[in-house]
Amino acid sequence: MEEKAQSRYLWYARINALSFASTADTVLILYAIKVGADDFLVGLIVSFVYLTMPLMLLGKQSMVRRGAARTFALGWLLRNISALSMVSIPFIQQYGQQALGLFILIAAAFGFFAFRSYGAVADVPLIGDITSPQSRGRFIAKVWFQSNIYYLAAMVGIVAVLNRFPSIHTFQIILIFGGITGIISQLNIRAVPESPQPALSAREPLLKDVTYVLGDLRAQKLLIAWSMCLGSIVLVIPFSMLSLKNGYGISDYGALSFFIVQVWGLLSPPLPTRCCWIAWVPGL
């Protein structure tokens, strides 16, 4: 049972990496610029990653009724439907509906990240359910490494395609590919066998977790360090892409090539070296 569940999850992680590379991060930012979004709108879209996180509470309630795997799958299905709806924007703008196109962009991006938050809350409980304490670290490392390999391969492919066909229609095809692969990935998550434990854990009141964090100094320091890490990511990576495009006039191909260098940093140096600054926090 455990081996089958882990295999399903691994296939989800691999296919989802292809989807994420095609629908989020740099591709989404470049697509937004292509359809006329200004710096404020791009910044707003990027902020949805964190502004929608309170919707994890809805996902937590869904786990009580549906379990972790089905909650995860539902969030990912709706997330990728939101991504596919962005494909319609250039067709709408062809008929002079620029404002309507941008409204659809903002609404679809919000849905994309909102449903991500809804489903992602089930990720950790599901991994905990399909692994033992002895195998968990090894499995998480395998998921991390393989998903980043697939993500890097997808980005290299996207760069090659955009170098050959640098048009808005190419972005639409990339979004369609990302949406379809995302829907396929959620089928693997839906098929992961799970025990009743994730649903039972979702019944635990959130106040219990808050009390634990407030009463554990190590947890507080980790939370502060992780918040600083996320804050630096949201400020540096998206706006560096805006600087390349709107500040220096770099092509989509050049901007994505720059991003591939960033992705390569996920694989080298090793994870413990990249995260050692978190462990450096005094007393952690």
pLDDT in tens, 102-161: 999 999 999 999 999 999 999 999 999 999 988 888 999 999 889 989 998 998 899 889
H or E element that contains 163: helix 136-164
Q: Specify the pLDDT at position 262.
A: 66
- The predicted model gives 198-206 an average pLDDT of 84
pLDDT tens for 250-263 read 777 677 777 677 66
Q: DSSP H helical segments within 191-250, as ranges? A: 197-202, 206-215, 217-242
Q: Higher confidence at residue 189 or residue 271?
A: 189
Q: Which residue carries 């591939």 as its tokens?
A: 260
- Res 280 pLDDT > 50: no
Identify whether the C-beta of residue 167 lies closer than 8 Å to the C-beta of residue 158.
no
For residue 180, pLDDT over 60 is answered with yes
Which of 36-50, 120-134, 215-229, 264-278 is the least confident region?
264-278
- Would you give the DSSP letter of residue 88? G
Position 204 scores a pLDDT of 82
Question: How far apart are the C-alpha atoms of 180 and 224, rounded to whole Å?
Answer: 37
CATH of the structural domain 2-279, one choice from 3.20.20.70, 3.30.465.10, 1.10.3720.10, 1.20.1250.20:
1.20.1250.20
Q: Which of 54, 50, 47 is nearest to 28 (CA)?
A: 47
Q: Which two tokens stand for residue 19?
A: 């989807």
Query: What per-residue confidence (pLDDT) applies to 91?
Result: 94
Tokens 């081996």: give the residue. 3
Distance of CA 114 to the CA centre of its chain: 11
